[in-house]
Structure 1
Amino acid sequence: MSSNTSEKETGSEQQETINARFVTGSILRHVINMTATTSVGLMSIFFVELVDMYFISLLGEESLAAAIGFSGAITFFIFSISIGLSIGLAAVVARVIGAGQGDQAKRVIFNGLLTSFVMMSFIAVPVYLYTEQLLSLVGAEGKTLEFAVKYMKITVISLPVISIGMSMGAVLRAVGAAKASMISTVLAGIVNIVLDPLFIFTLDLHIEGAAYATLVARLTMAIVAAWVLARQLGLSVFKFQGGLSGDISSISKIAIPAALTSLATPFANSYVTTSVAGFGADAVAGLAIIGRITPFAFAVVFALSAAIGPIVGQNIGAVQTARVKSALNSSLLVIFVVVCATSLIMTLFADTIAAIFNASGLSAELVVFFCIFTSWSFVFSGAQFIANAAFNNMNKATWSTFANWAKATVGTIPFIWLGGEWAGAKGIIAGQAIGSVLFGIITIIVAYKIVNNPINLTKKRDDRTRYFGAWLPAILPQFGWQRFMEERWNADQRDEKKIDKFSEIKSDMISRTNHKSNSKK
């Protein structure tokens, strides 16, 4: 009897951990709490990358920093797929919990983690085999290519591990346990910071030492995340409970567009890298330093896109559309305040930031230019991140795909080309910022229009919707094509409406005929 009672208590405790936490209480408080805890976790990851760059810069060779920059351009592509899978899993889990179906959450979580691990394992193999060719495609050559191959050959091994680590962190945020999600990333960051100087200098492994430290840190992150997830939801979360094909279908409807959405950013960054490469290794090194500064300085911006998803998802599942709009308002307020404060600090200490990384010449000029001028554009980048997170949780995942790819192409290539022609490497960085401003404004306006029409959030979609069309916005980022595909996806629903309308007209005619017949009698 006592054992049964304890089992019931344990079950109720586990069920309580997956209740919809964001459908009640202050939205602003939820946004701040989720963003703060997620930011700490992200900052620990990005701080590690800064430490990597710092220790590598102490070796005194520009090609080493450039090698990490080229490697990052490739691994960012791969991480985008992993990010898409984690977004899809988290969105489905949040909506399931918001709809009061917490008993299905553990099944969805296991199936999502399994899918992430298997898919990233398949991707890691060809990337490992063709590392040199991939790096050459983005412009790495000579010593820089040699160093980049050494670094990437080691870090690519950890791709399946970091994929499930990221997915487990996303799940913890989806259930409202952002503090628990933070633990794994913080501990991984500590491990990396400790191992960096040991491997790079003490063991004299140079750039390979930084790669080995990253590998161990990622393993640590996955192990700790698994332990935390088991404590939050119980060991049963790691047991197969069936429904694999159905859950893969539900997750992929968001994950495929989300992965394509994420791929747009590294596509644009790779174009920026290859464009900057024409101005020499100093310029690429400066860009690599900016790439390490940006996510650390603006971790709140990146964190908010991950933090708002569960809040929007749970409230959509609970059909509370007013709270969804409130989440957008609160997120934009946080973005504006944080970016303005951060950019002001970076402007005041621009020269110091460049000196910390031993940047000189063109490298230093690019870092200072970014800190003083283009860092402010992250207000608009943050607005697009918020809009994309909202799209992914509002049955509009392909909209974020289209928005990001439009920005990565028509919002990046022309501006970068013109900037490079007029002002060199600085003009390239400025051109990218201009595109961010333009598309940040457009996407957040669209997000508000969707939220202001509650039927967009409450109507159910046909499970037979063909999501293969999600690839088209990535290939043909034109508004006409996007509208054409939306019309095609909704064709079945229009046909059903026509049939229903015809039935109504037919019934009305029959009733009128009967009425006339009765009148004559």
Structure 2
Amino acid sequence: MSVSSAELAKKSIKSLLIRQAVPASVGILFMSLNILVDTIFVGQWIGSLAIAAVSVVLPLTFFISSLGLGIGIGGSSVLSRALGAGNKDKALATFAHQIMMTFGLSSLFVIFGLFFGEDMLYAFGGKGDITEPAKTFFLPVLLAVPLQALCMMGNTVIRAEDKARFAMLSMIIPAIGNILLDVLFIKVLDMGMFGAALATALSFLICFLYVLWFFIYKTELKLHFRDFVWHNKLAKEIVSLSFVTFARQGVIAILAVLLNNTLFAEGGEHAVTVYGIISRMLMFMLFPVLGITQGFLPVAGYNYGAENYGRVKESIFTAIKYATALAIVVFIVILVFARPIVSVFTKDAQVIEDTPYALRWVFGASPIIAIQLIGSAYFQAAGKATKALLLTLTKQGFCLIPLVLVLPHFFGIFGVWVSFPIADVLSTLITGIFLKKELDTQLKED
């Protein structure tokens, strides 16, 4: 699936996007399918409150583990350039720093969670009848979070070594493991929420063991004890490049806190369950659009660096065209099949009754989101970090959070659901303005 530099400059944009997007889409598909099936199992075999509990815990633990993602992305930029320059010592030192920073920071958060877990769960919306199942699910998953953080960091390093197939397998293998363990612990052994938590924690272990195997037997980055010497300058370089990811995940965590608490205030545990289903569908249904966005990055980035602006413009328009077509298909599926989709998750009649209405509103502006996703990805590919950060945060940070804070005061729980399409429209307009200016100036052909 890897594409050489020469091909990025010469082959058709359409074929390049397809070849780059397929492995990215497959990885995202399995990751989202894992979360989706996990939610279906706990909803069907434990109950609708279990969906609410998982919706409270996972954003919290994912925020901690995403430290590994941020350090992985930032460090891999340093690592790739070091390998390209033939500086193997710096590459090894960078990888060692990624390991030390990821394990150290995630472990600190785990210790904090052990002492203040109940307060953290309450802040993330673990209230009322959600509290006990959330506490049961929280501890095993929390203890395994450093493993997940190391896996997320390791995945980016594997990609930096241009081994996309191994990186894809690092997402597929634990996803399959989690699904099988869910069946064993929840259905066969009837272990309830603890079984669901144990399955999730062990899937992190499975992923870690696979990543560890890769870095023992398949990597070119063979570490020694001498590489684990701390260098402040290198650490600062990694952190500075990791900030965009840290900021994005921080905003997502704040949004999760706000949504769960607002929904609980407006509709109790029931409303949190409804959003638990919707949030899983958001990632699963949009996986092909996200895959095209990931596939677009190397194509646009390489040609931008080569100052081949005509191909950059073509890649932008082609990616938007295909991503929009897929987003429209997703919207139609949600519009027509919302109720049958929801029925897969739970037997709770009230949840089945209320969720399709909310689901259709949340996906209401999905046909236009490709402009926002591809537009912000372009600025990332072009190395324009400030604009990339601002546009990446536009939907959740600058639009959705203020809307969720304001609209429910006037429209109740409907204010939460309608905030999503409004945020999509506003963020698309803002990104479109930035992208149009870029097309008319920086990417203007002579």
The answer, yes or no, to whether TM exceeds 0.5 is yes
Which position in structure 2 is the counterpart of 1:87?
A: 73
Give the one of 120, 136, 152 matched to 1:150: 136
Any idea what SS the aligned residue of 1:140 has? coil
- The alpha-carbon distance between structure 1 residues 280 and 441, as it changes in their structure 2 partners (threshold 3 A), is same
For 2:22, which of 33, 36, 44 is the aligned residue? 36
1:328-355 Cα distance to aligned partner (Å, 9 max, x none): 3333223212111122122221110111
Distance 1:345 1:398, change over 3 A: same
What displacement does 1:148 show?
Answer: 0.8
Q: State the distance in 2 between where 1:219 and 1:60 align.
A: 24
Q: Could you list the per-position Cα deviations for residues 169-198 of structure 1 after superposition, in whole angstroms to 9, with x for gaps in the alignment? A: 223334543333111111111111111011
**C-alpha RMSD of matched pairs (Å):** 3.3
Structure 1's 409 and 170: CA in aligned 2 closer, same or farther, altered over 3 A?
closer
Moved more, 121-130 or 301-310: 301-310
**Equivalent residue for 2:362?**
374
> Does the aligned pair in 2 maintain the 1:176–1:310 contact within 8 Å?
no
- State the partner residue of 2:332: 344
* 1:430, distance to aligned residue in structure 2 (A): 1.5
Question: Whose Rg is larger?
Answer: 1
Name the residue aligned to 1:479. none
| Structure 1 residues 409 and 454, CA gap change in structure 2 (3 angstroms) | closer
1:255 to 223, 233, 242: 242
Query: Is 2:64–2:149's contact at 8 Å kept on the other side of the alignment?
Result: no
SS at match of 2:414: helix
Q: How does 1:407-446 map to 2 (within 5 A)?
A: 407-417=395-405, 419-446=407-434
Q: How does 1:201-240 map to 2 (within 5 A)?
A: 201-228=187-214, 233-234=219-220, 236=222, 240=227
1:74-94 CA distance string (max 9 Å, x none): 224324433322332344455
Matched, 1:25 2:42: no
Moved more, 53-62 or 339-348: 53-62
> What CA distance in whole angstroms lies between the structure 1 residues aligned with 2:198 and 2:20?
31
Deviation at 1:67, TM superposition (A): 0.8
1:292 to 263, 277, 280: 280
1:82·1:259 contact (CA, 8 Å) conserved in 2?
no
- Residues 31 and 307 in structure 1, CA contact (< 8 A), matched pair in contact too: yes
Match of 1:134 in 2: 120
Counterpart mapping for 1:56-455 below 5 A? 56-93=42-79, 100-101=84-85, 103-104=87-88, 106-107=91-92, 108-228=94-214, 233-234=219-220, 236=222, 240=227, 244-278=231-265, 279-315=267-303, 320-358=308-346, 360=348, 362-417=350-405, 419-447=407-435, 449-450=437-438, 454=442
Paired residues of 1:38 and 1:179 also in contact (CA < 8 A): no
Matches of 1:268 and 1:320, distance apart in 2: 39
Q: How many angstroms apart in 2 are the aligned matches of 1:168 and 1:361? A: 43
Distance apart, 1:207 and its partner CA = 0.8
Q: Is the Cα contact below 8 Å between 2:324 and 2:369 reproduced in 1?
A: no
2:65 touches 2:106 (CA, 8 Å); kept in 1?
A: no
d(CA) in 1 for partners of 2:158, 2:410? 47
Listed one character per residue, the Cα deviations across residues 87-109 of structure 1 (whole Å, up to 9, x for unaligned) are 32344455667xx5365584344
Contact 1:19 1:102 in 2 (8 A): no
> Which residue number in structure 2 is paired with residue 504 of structure 1?
none
Residues 452 and 139 of structure 1: CA distance in aligned 2, closer, same or farther (over 3 Å): same
- Alpha carbons of 1:372 and 1:302: their partners in 2 closer, same or farther (altered >3 Å)? same
Structure 2: 5+ residue runs without aligned partners? none
Task: Go from structure 1 to structure 2 and tell me whether the alpha carbon gap of 1:374 and 1:114 turns closer, same or farther (over 3 Å shift).
Answer: same
CA distance in structure 2 between the partners assigned to 1:129 and 1:356 by the alignment: 37
User: How far does residue 277 in structure 1 lie from its aligned partner after superposition?
Assistant: 1.0
Q: Deviations over 1:298-326 (max 9, x none)?
A: 12233444444444455555555554444
The verdict on how the C-alpha distance between 1:89 and 1:148 changes in structure 2, with shifts beyond 3 A counting, is: same
The two structures have a TM-score, normalised by structure 2, of 0.85
Compute the displacement of 1:220 (Å).
Answer: 1.5
Q: How far did 1:417 drift? A: 4.6
Q: Determine what percentage of the aligned residue pairs are the same residue.
A: 23
Looking at structure 2, the residues matched to 196 and 307 of structure 1 have their Cα atoms a distance apart, in angstroms, of 32
8 Å contact kept, 1:168–1:225? yes
Q: Is the 8 A contact 1:43 1:299 kept in 2?
A: yes
Deviation of 1:420 after TM superposition, in Å, equals 2.5
Take 2:326 and 2:48, find their aligned partners in 1: how far apart are those partners? Answer: 32
Contact 1:89/1:255, CA 8 A, preserved across alignment: yes
Question: 8 Å contact 2:125–2:257 — kept in the other structure?
Answer: no
The 1-side partners of 2:125 and 2:175 are apart by 30
* Distance in 2 of aligned mates of 1:128 and 1:401: 32
Q: Is the 8 A contact 2:32 2:284 kept in 1?
A: yes
Offset at 1:203? 2.5
CA distance in 2, matches of 1:346, 1:221: 32
SS for the counterpart of 2:279 is helix
Distance 2:359 2:97 in 1: 43
Q: Contact 1:196–1:213 at 8 Å: present in 2 too?
A: yes
Give the secondary-structure state (helix, strand or coil) at the position aligned to 2:190. coil
Which amino acid counterpart does residue 242 of structure 2 have in structure 1? A
Q: Distance in 2 between matches of 1:110 and 1:18?
A: 28
Greater shift, 74-83 or 278-287, is seen at: 74-83
Q: How many residues align?
A: 439
Check the 8 A contact 2:52/2:273 in 1, yes or no.
yes
- Match of 1:204, SS state, is coil
Counterparts of 1:314 and 1:175 in 2: how far apart (Å)? 17
Deviation at 1:259, TM superposition (A): 1.0
SS in 1 for 2:208: helix
SS in 1 for 2:45: coil
